Amino acid sequence: MAKPIIFSGIQPSGRLMLGNYLGALKNWVNLQKDYDCLYCLVDLHAITLPQDPKELRERSYEGLAVYLAAGIDPAKNILFLQSHAPQHAELGWMLTCHTYMGELSRMTQYKDKSAKQKNIGVGLFTYPSLMAADILLYQTNLVPVGQDQKQHLELARDLAQRMNNLYGPLFKVPEVYIPPVGAKIMSLQAPTAKMSKSDPDPNATVFLSDGDKEIEKKLKRAVTDSGSEIVFAPDDEEKAGVTNLISIQAAITGRKPDEIVASYAGKQYGHLKVDTAEIVVQCIKPVREKYQALLDDKGELDRILARGAEAARERAETTLAKVKDALGFVARH
Ligand code: TRP
């Protein structure tokens, strides 16, 4: 029996950090056994906000290098750039024409992002239709997305159903994929907020590119609380800092939080921080080293992207040809 298809899109914008790695990437490495996975670096989505071309290109390579370094195998998964498969833009347009203004106006991410822009590109508004195209082109069964993308995925489902009702069965209706262990990693400086790559406080976030010394420094400065009790209490804001350090250890080592807490009986926050730093250093070091080696070999990255694009285009074209025919476009002979 064919494996279920998973599709996920990742914006090639900015550096990846520990939260991405423990929250999503590690899961994806496990998925490759049981699912047929496509991971798309969504450069067409990236330009919905102003981009520096040089940086966009560099970050696209960096994005690919991080996924490979984390253990995503290009022989088992399809890794590709969105702009290398023109079917995304084509189906994106067709779906844009079937999306209602009201649906897009309700998107909370649009409201947030547009509030921060002076000139708002139309693409920022129609972006969810393009995201639906990404997913529907591959007859995707499951889409691993965070809370912030659920509304967009809901639109993709609605569009699949709408198109199927109008034109006959064209698309699989995708479901959201909820990962089995979603480690939620919080800021080291304000541990009630999620760790974020765009945090203005440089000590709040551990990046996958950080050196050992830098990681140690950041973890030693991690905010805890004025008490001295080492507990795992996800619902207690006061204990958010300590809980976060335990979560980080648990996500990396696979040990149970309670077991980790028990091992700190009679110990202080200092011990917890030093140990967590050591565990994070050991976790990130091999990823960083592999990542750097990959980035030094752009030729190999280009070859991987070419293979990914070829596989993606072939699949995408099968769906797109059906859609064009159903919509009444004359076939090109
Ligand atoms: N919108 C997603 C984000 O900002 C990225 C994305 C684009 C995506 N296309 C997708 C995610 C398709 C899942 C499936 O993070």
| CATH number for the domain harbouring residue 280 | 1.10.240.10
Ligand 1 close to Cβ of residue 39 (< 6 A): no
Output the pLDDT for position 276.
97
CATH number of 125's domain: 3.40.50.620
pLDDT digits (tens, 9 = 90+) for 130-182: 999 999 999 999 998 888 899 999 999 999 999 999 999 999 999 999 776 55
pLDDT digits (tens, 9 = 90+) for 297-324: 999 999 999 999 999 999 999 999 999 9
Written as one string, the DSSP assignment of 278-305 is HHHHHHHHHHHHHHHHHHT-HHHHHHHH
Ligand 1 atom at minimum distance from 144 CA:
13
Is 231 a member of any domain?
A: yes
Same domain? For 168 and 151 the reply is yes
Output the pLDDT for position 16.
80
Residues 95/129, Cβ–Cβ less than 8 Å: yes
Ligand 1 close to Cβ of residue 32 (< 6 A): no
pLDDT digits (tens, 9 = 90+) for 262-296: 999 999 999 999 999 999 999 999 999 999 999 99
Is 189 a member of any domain?
A: no
Residue type, 303: R
Is 195 a member of any domain?
A: no
Is 302 a member of any domain?
A: yes
Largest distance between two CA atoms of the chain: 78
The 78-81 sheet, strands edge to edge: 78-81, 36-41, 5-10, 142-144, 175-177
Is 97 a member of any domain?
A: yes
127 vs 209, higher pLDDT: 127
Is 190 a member of any domain?
A: no
Same domain? For 148 and 239 the reply is no
Same domain? For 146 and 252 the reply is no
Q: Which of 6, 3, 90 is nearest to 44 (CA)?
A: 90
Is 62 a member of any domain?
A: yes
Same domain? For 78 and 123 the reply is yes
Using the predicted structure, report yes or no on whether residue 208 has a pLDDT greater than 80. yes
Same domain? For 132 and 218 the reply is no
- Give residue 14's pLDDT band: very low, low, confident or very high (50, 70, 90): low
Same domain? For 102 and 250 the reply is no
Annotated catalytic residue, options 113, 172, 290, 324: 113
Number of domains in the chain: 2
Output the pLDDT for position 182.
58
Q: Calculate what percentage of the chain has a pLDDT beyond 70.
A: 98
Same domain? For 124 and 10 the reply is yes
113 is annotated as an active-site residue:
yes
Domain interval for residue 235? 212-292
Same domain? For 63 and 94 the reply is yes
Q: What are phi and psi of 37, to 5 degrees?
A: -110, 140
Output the pLDDT for position 28.
84
pTM for the predicted model, two decimal places: 0.86
> How far, in Å, is the centroid of ligand 1 from the Cα of 44?
11
Output the pLDDT for position 188.
97
194 is annotated as an active-site residue:
yes
Output the pLDDT for position 15.
76
- Give residue 109's pLDDT band: very low, low, confident or very high (50, 70, 90): very high
